[in-house]
Amino acid sequence: MLEGQFVFTQLMEFLPRREFNACVGQYRGNRRLRGFSCRDQFLCLAFAQLTFRESLRDIETCLRAVGPKLYHLGFRGKIARSTLADASRAHDWRIYADFAQVLIRRARRLYADEPLAVALAQTVYALDSTTVDLCLSLFPWAKFRRRKGAVKLHTLLDLRGNIPCFVHISSGKMHDVNVLDELPIEPAAFYVMDRGYVDFRRLYRFTQGTAFFVTRAKRNLDCTRRARRPVDKTTGLRTDQTIVLAGPKSSRLYPDPLRRITFYDVKHQRRFVFLTNNFTLPALTIAQLYKCRWQVELFFKWIKQNLRIKAFYGTTENAVKTQVWTAISVYVLVAIAKKELRLERSMSEILQILSVTLFEKTPISEALTAAHERNPHSPCPNQLSLFD
């Protein structure tokens, strides 16, 4: 990065400009330009995410306070609350969704060699959803309960680097299992999910697509045992069986055999029953894979604590989806910067440092490097020498 640039400008250099313009052109995002482009909107929302702004007025006040610096930060349009509100209604949210996918593909290449908690060469995904509560009178399109609104973020997380590679935003009424119809199936990959996604017709898509799933069995599972394998009970395993579904409907929807593994967690005194269509991995590895599913829960906790996705700058569906996809883009952008700059800090630490250094003219690698990692013998350019 060039010395003398603002930290915010240096961070935005990680964004591929050509791909962003292609996403804007696909949906004709700048056809109603009016002095405020899609890039201006993205920069405003990225600034809001990085500095934890509360509202459009908050964004306007903070950016206008550094008015002489805005041109060097990349802004070209006039920053106004009404302009930002108009852009949230006019600029198609799919522009930012497609651009987020560009960043996601780049991040996944960078984190492709990251180790997993389980020794496995294949890609492992964790699938789950989180609910964001909304006021139904302000967000009437996001129906959830009779007097309550909400949106759901259905997320498929690549566990190598914890990169969200598929996100579907729906109203709160959509059941989790329905997202399996939208999910892309990658051959030979593992999909780990909880028992809320047990639907044998949809799970059979994974088998037909030569992919593997790991989930928990429901209590009323009707099945017949075909074979069993010995297990080491000192590891917590209790059974490892090959079963076929016995129910008239379930056996028709999933006619192939399944593997049923029982595991007892001594520490928490809980019994888990796992279902999978993989018959080659050791039974203990299957149990460990399901334990990795907790990473998606931690991801939801992280973005709710560190990004603005629980309170929104607009009330339209387009504004909400634009803000969510911008938040995901910022998360992935920080992950890309962390990897390319070879930073040892955590994502939370990086975000906290960026929030107070965006308008400083410091090399971004220096700003984000821990103090003890810097060269103590490097001269400070502002310190006069006592001896010539």
* pLDDT tens digits for range 11-67: 999 999 999 999 999 988 877 656 788 999 999 999 999 999 999 999 999 999 888
pLDDT digits (tens, 9 = 90+) for 135-146: 988 999 998 988
Question: Which token pair is 147?
Answer: 């007097």
Mean pLDDT over the full length of the chain: 89
The residue with tokens 């930073």 is: 343
Checking if the pLDDT of 71 tops 90, the result is: no
Checking if the pLDDT of 96 tops 90, the result is: yes
Contact of 231 with 237, CB cutoff 8 Å: yes
* Domain extent at residue 322: 7-96+317-365
Q: Give the strand pairing for 190-192 and 212-216.
A: parallel
The verdict on 281 and 208 lying in the same domain is yes
- Residue 60 in any domain: the answer is yes
pTM of the model: 0.88
Contact of 60 with 85, CB cutoff 8 Å: no
Contact of 336 with 107, CB cutoff 8 Å: yes
Contact of 212 with 226, CB cutoff 8 Å: no
- Residue 131 in any domain: the answer is no
Query: What is d(CA 350, CA 352) in angstroms, rounded to the nearest whole number?
Result: 5
- Residue 184 in any domain: the answer is no
Tell me the β-bridge partners of 239.
262
Rounded average pLDDT over 257-263 = 95
- Residue 370 in any domain: the answer is no
Domain count, the chain: 2
The verdict on 254 and 204 lying in the same domain is yes
Question: Which token pair is 97?
Answer: 């969704």
